[in-house]
Structure 1
Amino acid sequence: MAVHPPTPARAEGRAGAGIRLPWWALTLPVLAFAALLVLISDPAQAREAGAEPAIGVFLEYLTLLLLR
């Protein structure tokens, strides 16, 4: 008695089925883009940074934490 392997599902039957994403998979990037667009939309309100840039303070703090 010969054993036949199961036949795979036809590709035509699955061609119409798509992957469904949750609602937030598109909403969150759109909201982030909109927030960034609002932040850069009015450059007239931009001010000069303080004497010490924030990235320098952050890197100094990070260095202190890592070297403990």
Structure 2
Amino acid sequence: MSARTPTRTPGTGGADVRLPWWAVALPVVAFTALLLLVTGPGQAHASGGEPAVGRILEQIQHTLSR
């Protein structure tokens, strides 16, 4: 017994896709939270030592210059 192939009727263009509410809300909430973390200074203070990013970049430069 063979399976029937679904056929489309002409004139029904486009996909009928429905997303749940959380599929739209979660990315919006995540983007907003990250935007607030980046733009808001908060209680961040600079550390007294050498920044870790600078040390990592120096290590990469040293490795690539070999």
- Give the TM-score normalised by structure 1: 0.46
Greater helix content: 1
- Give the TM-score normalised by structure 2: 0.48
